[in-house]
Amino acid sequence: MPSAPITSRGCLSTFMGELESESVQGGSQIWQVLRRKEESRNMKIEEYRDRFPIIRRGVNYQATCGIGVLPDVGIQAIEEVKGMSTEIPEVNFETFLGAHEELKAEFANIINAKPGEIAIVPSTSAAACRILNSLDYKARNKVVVSALSFPGISFACHAQQRRGAKVSFVPSPQKISSPVDYDNLRPGPADYEKSIDEKTILVVLTGTCYRTGFRQDKLREIVQIAHDKGAYVFIDDGQLSGHFVEDVKESNVDFLATTTYKYLLCPMGNAFLYVKEKLVEELESLDRGWFSGENFMESFPYWLEHSGHHRLSQTASRFELGVPRLPLDYISLPVLKMINEIGVKNIENYTKDLLDYYVQRTTAEGYEGFETKSPYNREQRSHLTIKVPEAEKVSVKLRKYNTAVEPSGREVIRIAPHFYNIKEEIDELLTNLKKVL
């Protein structure tokens, strides 16, 4: 198994120590360390399965749309954090701060952004609030939201009504009765065009509907409609980042938020906020703290002298507040390095092949007891939904067979493979579904 990637100064010291130790035993062994790292860059995507302890234990895990699983490099980083707990805290703080900034660069690479366009916040809801609290609703006060947005984002938009905002929902083309029995559930460009006007200040989109798995494949067209009317665009990318490619330069979105604990495979507690570079200094959120400043370490005397006013950061860090969840940043960093090592485009292509295989199996053979009615288009689905009776009970019964899926509501389970899954596990899932139904 390849060794863990370098994560920060702490890990760099470990790596250098490893080199020095092997150097004492013999100069040729130095290159064994480097060779292991080179091999990790040449691994086939299927070989990364071995990096996940839960997969090695034989668990058929296809519930990543709910929570992803932590790879070995993240677990190793947890052990490092545990070891640091006995050291001088100030030393750890400096190491963790380095990981915090490096983590932004790794995520920026995933979405084709610049590190200065990335802030790390506690959740996607917090990210939405930072942007919503930056807007002035006097001249423009309309916030357009998809009816299929995750509830937390919708709640954040509704809260702005106290500041003068008016929320307008874009309905689905068809009435929602079950998320598996109709086509083209997603509102398209024509649906948004009806709602966006000169009073619109923000359009809130969802990259993939969390319940249905339908992907918004007309994102660029909707963004253009919004920009033509002078509105900003915010996208909730929680069901796509690390799993499907989302290029912010290509789509031209203004803001993007995503959580870390799904397809990015990091622990809970963090989320990323992307803010387009030209908008960073234009917006000042009502949410701010000492880490929002241009130089947070110099904020103390400045605060005393100027009654709490200090110059905000010229990067997206101005949307951060107090001390970040630095140990989480440290743990997450090697995981995102692994995602970038594989390449999100490679992960997307691999995932599409798995979804294709699932549909082929169910279409060719037919299965009694559950329904997969929605027409399938590999460019429009990032995970699958199937209709079963008593979804929660079905998911619990599947666990007895070491199989994990994600229930959503009373009659739907979601199937969400990632790059640690293989086709044989889809066969196994379908067999186990027969058993429990």
**253 and 297 co-located in one domain:** yes
Q: Quick one: pLDDT at residue 246?
A: 92
**239 and 186 co-located in one domain:** yes
**304 and 367 co-located in one domain:** no
In a domain, 31, yes or no: no
**170 and 210 co-located in one domain:** yes
Q: How confident is the model at residue 380 (pLDDT cuts 50, 70, 90)?
A: confident
Q: Which of 340, 366, 384 is the last residue of a domain?
A: 340
In a domain, 283, yes or no: yes
Q: Is the pLDDT confidence value at 376 over 60?
A: yes
The full length of the chain comes to: 437
Spatial separation of the C-alpha atoms in residues 173 and 182, rounded to whole Å: 10
Best CA proximity match to 407, nearest among 62, 33, 38, 53: 62
**183 and 323 co-located in one domain:** yes
Q: Quick one: pLDDT at residue 410?
A: 84
**355 and 335 co-located in one domain:** no
Q: How confident is the model at residue 374 (pLDDT cuts 50, 70, 90)?
A: low
Q: How confident is the model at residue 182 (pLDDT cuts 50, 70, 90)?
A: very low
> Which of 179-193, 235-249, 280-294 is predicted with the least confidence, judged by mean pLDDT?
179-193
Number of domains into which the chain is organized: 2
Q: Most confidently modeled of 2-11, 361-370, 412-421?
A: 412-421
Buried b (16+ CB within 10 A) or exposed e, 208-228: bbbbbbbbbebbebbbebbbe
Token pair for residue 163?
A: 């500041």
**312 and 426 co-located in one domain:** no
pLDDT digits (tens, 9 = 90+) for 124-151: 999 999 999 999 999 999 999 987 788 7
Q: How many CB atoms lie within 10 A of CB 122?
A: 17
CATH code for position 370: 3.90.1150.10
**144 and 128 co-located in one domain:** yes
pLDDT digits (tens, 9 = 90+) for 72-116: 999 999 999 999 888 777 778 889 999 999 999 999 999 999 999
**330 and 209 co-located in one domain:** yes
pTM for the structure as a whole? 0.85
Best CA proximity match to 192, nearest among 212, 174, 218: 218
**175 and 260 co-located in one domain:** yes
Spatial separation of the C-alpha atoms in residues 178 and 374, rounded to whole Å: 10
In a domain, 86, yes or no: no
In a domain, 240, yes or no: yes
Rounded to 5°, angle at Cα 167 from 161 and 172:
155
Q: What is the 3-state secondary structure (H, E, C) of the chain?
A: CCCCCCCCHHHHHHHHHHHHHHHHHCHHHHHHHHHHHHHHHCCCHHHHHHHCHHHHCCCEECECCCCCCCCHHHHHHHHHHHHHCCCCHHHHHHHHHHHHHHHHHHHHHHHCCCHHHEEEECCHHHHHHHHHCCCCCCCCCEEEEECCCCHHHHHHHHHHHHHCCEEEEECCCCCCCCCCCCCCCCCCHHHHHHHCCCCEEEEEEECECCCCCEECCCHHHHHHHHHHCCCEEEEECCCCCCCCCCCHHHHCCCEEEEECCCCCCCCCCCEEEEECHHHHCCCCCCCCCHHHECCHHHHHHHHHHCCCCCCECCCHHHHCCCCCCHHHHHHHHHHHHHHHHHCHHHHHHHHHHHHHHHHHHHHHHCCCCCECCCCCCCCCECCEEEECCCHHHHHHHHHCCCEECEECCCCEEEEECCCCCCHHHHHHHHHHHHHHC
Q: Which of 320, 340, 360 is the last residue of a domain?
A: 340
**372 and 333 co-located in one domain:** no
In a domain, 247, yes or no: yes
Q: Quick one: pLDDT at residue 265?
A: 97
pLDDT digits (tens, 9 = 90+) for 385-423: 888 889 999 999 999 999 999 998 888 889 999 999 999
CATH code for position 227: 3.40.640.10
Using only the alpha carbons of the chain, give its radius of gyration.
Answer: 23
In a domain, 348, yes or no: yes
Residue 370 has, within 13 A of its CA and on its CB side, a CA count of 29
Q: Which of 293, 324, 340 is the last residue of a domain?
A: 340
pLDDT digits (tens, 9 = 90+) for 203-226: 999 888 887 788 888 899 999 999
Domain that holds residue 410: 344-436
Best CA proximity match to 148, nearest among 201, 191, 200, 115: 191
**310 and 422 co-located in one domain:** no
Pairing relationship of beta strands 118-121 and 271-275 according to DSSP bridges = antiparallel
Q: Is the pLDDT confidence value at 434 over 50?
A: yes
Token pair for residue 359?
A: 């549909």
Distance of CA 21 to the CA centre of its chain: 38
Rounded to an integer, the average pLDDT of 224-237 is: 96
In a domain, 71, yes or no: no
In a domain, 9, yes or no: no
